[in-house]
Amino acid sequence: MTRRKLSLRALPWLLLLLAAVMTACSSGSNKAEITEDEAEIKFDTLAHDYGLMPQDSAVTYEFVFHNIGATPLHLKSVMPTCGCVSVDYPQGSIEPGDAASISATYNTRGRQPGHFNKAIRVYSNAKTKFVRLAVTGTVPEKK
């Protein structure tokens, strides 16, 4: 019985301690702000649907992005998850305030008909080190 009363008495103190710890953690580790020595990448869109695509064709979409940080942005690698997607991206620096694009081409040649959903992994020196882009679409059956 004494044990239960002790637990109920300690509950307000434990809640107060938990609130203090959570407040300290959230204010001390807020990395949403960009410091003056960071690049940051922001895409206009993270996904594109090519829609209905004819057999034996290739279509391209440009994923436009901006360096909204304070230092030059460098793309370290841009890797599609499938050989059916090829990418072309800038190799040099993207200066603060500048825009550039990643070209993603999906080739239907030799691919099974149906819906597809492929990813492109973008790694950079930005505060957000990794961004996932997606391309989707549908290849109809041959007639």
Neighbours of 63 (CB within 10 A): 24
Compute φ and ψ for 32, nearest 5 degrees. -70, -25
Look up tokens 């909204």; give the residue: 68
Length of the chain counted residue by residue: 143
Structural domains in the chain, CATH included, are: 41-139 (2.60.40.10)
At 23-54, the pLDDT tens digits run 444 444 334 444 568 999 999 999 999 999 98
Neighbours of 135 (CB within 10 A): 23
Task: Identify the DSSP state of 94.
Answer: B
The per-residue pLDDT for 28 is 41
The per-residue pLDDT for 31 is 40
At 89-137, the pLDDT tens digits run 999 999 999 999 999 999 998 888 999 999 999 999 999 999 999 999 9
Look up tokens 């990643």; give the residue: 102
Sheet of 130-139, strand order: 47-52, 130-139, 114-124, 75-80
The per-residue pLDDT for 110 is 84
The per-residue pLDDT for 55 is 87
At 6-30, the pLDDT tens digits run 455 555 554 444 455 444 444 443 3
C-alpha angle with apex 73: 50 to 28, nearest 5 degrees? 105
Both structure tokens of 139: 């290849």
The per-residue pLDDT for 6 is 47
Q: If you write DSSP's letter for every residue of 111-122 in order, what string do you get?
A: PPSEEEEEEEEE
Instruction: Report the pLDDT averaged over residues 55-66.
Output: 95
The per-residue pLDDT for 119 is 98
Look up tokens 């793309």; give the residue: 75
The per-residue pLDDT for 35 is 52
